[in-house]
Structure 1
Amino acid sequence: MSDATEGNVLARIDAMEAAAFRAGLMARRLLAEHPDLPVKEIRPGFVGGGRAELQINTDDCDGVSVWAERLGLPVESKISSYTYDTGYEMVFEACRAEGQVDGVGIELLGTRSLDGAEREAWIAERDQAAAGPTAESGTGGTE
């Protein structure tokens, strides 16, 4: 291997090692500074170019919200459904927040199931929206 090639390869390895180290430090720091916040799983990592990343999975959307509030990150959520082979439709909310803390990319993730009346209301609203406007609502007729 030429000196130029070896230097380039070693520089990439150095960047990877530094990013992994920064992600680990941030994980330890956040856990130490916020011992009261929920953590189901934490995944330190890195991507090309030596950028450090940290993914924190919480028990639910409430966990994402409290972490996001502490770190000053906006929360996004989306309600979706999945139908099992049995025909049962599970409805869930996926919550996510992402941003930077001291140069480390942070992603917070959590979910919650919608049950009972809340589940039924979401399914009814979705089905009504999919059906489109009707003549009874006054928006589907012709003039």
Structure 2
Amino acid sequence: MSGATQDRPLAAVQTLESTVFRLGQLARRLLAEYPDAGLIVDTCHVFGHDDGESSSQLELRAPDVDAVRAVCAALGAEAHTKTVDHHIVMEHVRGETTLDGVCVKVRAFRHFSSEESAVWRAEQDQAATASAQAPGGAE
């Protein structure tokens, strides 16, 4: 048996191991480069395939939405904001980029205060009313 054939049964494992190492190094580097952001490693996903290919994802969580925005800006990633109302108004901020072949996601959320929630809900009501009154809007 040739060396390549003998290694084939473990190709996916070897790919997984090297990818896990690379992801770990990246996580350590990001936490060291942005210590003020308060990042924690939330989730890691790594897949190794027998053809030598891999895919990996590093999900980081920040303690506040401003930290996500700052890290995204530093990494050249766009921070996306979504506000939702599930009895509590919450702002979710996420960013995503690829570094060293690893998909890196950064996220945080915050609860709106009672006052902020009231203002946000009023703005949503005004937008819905304006949309309904516009030509072709809902009646």
CA distance change for structure 1 residues 128 and 103 in 2, over 3 Å: closer, same or farther? same
Partner SS for 2:125: helix
Alignment of 1:52-131 (within 5 A): 52-82=56-86, 89-130=87-128
Unaligned 5+ runs, structure 2:
none
Paired with 2:59 and 2:114, the residues of 1 have a C-alpha distance of: 31
Answer whether contact 1:58 1:108 (CA < 8 A) is retained: yes
CA distance change for structure 1 residues 120 and 43 in 2, over 3 Å: closer, same or farther? same
Residue 26 of structure 2 corresponds to: 26
Unaligned 5+ runs, structure 1:
83-88
Query: How far has the Cα of 1:128 moved from its partner?
Result: 4.0
Answer whether contact 1:18 1:50 (CA < 8 A) is retained: no
1:51 aligns with 2:46: no
**One-letter identity of the residue aligned with 1:121:** V
The normalised TM-score by structure 1 is 0.75
Answer whether contact 1:94 1:110 (CA < 8 A) is retained: yes
Paired with 1:80 and 1:5, the residues of 2 have a C-alpha distance of: 54
Range with bigger deviation, 19-28 or 5-14: 5-14
Q: RMSD across aligned C-alpha pairs, in angstroms?
A: 2.7
CA distance change for structure 1 residues 9 and 125 in 2, over 3 Å: closer, same or farther? farther
1:101-128 CA-partner distances (Å, limit 9, x unpaired):
2222110010011112221122223234
Partner SS for 1:133: helix
Query: How far has the Cα of 1:61 moved from its partner?
Result: 0.8
Residues matched between the structures, number: 130
Identical positions, percent:
33
